[in-house]
Amino acid sequence: MSLTPDEVRHIALLARLGLTDDDVARFSGQLSNILEYFEELRQVDVEGVPPTAYPLDLHNVMRADEPEPSSDAEDVLKNAPQREGEFFRVRAILEE
């Protein structure tokens, strides 16, 4: 199993991760190496075995729906890289 540089670029796009050409070359080698190691899983027979998502057998845990105070908006906005009044400021997301 090996990952071509184009495949690495495609995955980076899915993950919205900027990579340099050097990164692409290095990850192509390293990730191929790791995926090759994962090939050993092919020999495991999992016919009829259900998947495990969580170790606990808990489903749809509910708590009482009671109103509680939220975090202070000003505290939250203190972390904003860019703000405008009571809002987070972002770049336009619709392109012309």
Interacting residues with other proteins (CB under 8 A): 3, 8, 11-12, 14-19, 23, 27, 30-31, 33-35, 37-38, 40-41, 44, 46, 49-56, 58, 61, 63, 71-72, 75-76, 78-82, 88, 90-93, 95
State in angstroms the smallest separation of the CB of 7 from other proteins: 8
State in angstroms the smallest separation of the CB of 67 from other proteins: 14
Determine whether 11 is exposed, middle or buried from the number of CB atoms within 10 Å of its CB (0-12, 13-18, 19+): middle
Q: Which two tokens stand for residue 2?
A: 């090996």
The Cα–Cα gap between 29 and 2 comes to 8
Q: Where on the phi/psi map is residue 64: left (φ > 0), alpha (ψ -120 to 50), or beta? A: beta
State in angstroms the smallest separation of the CB of 1 from other proteins: 9
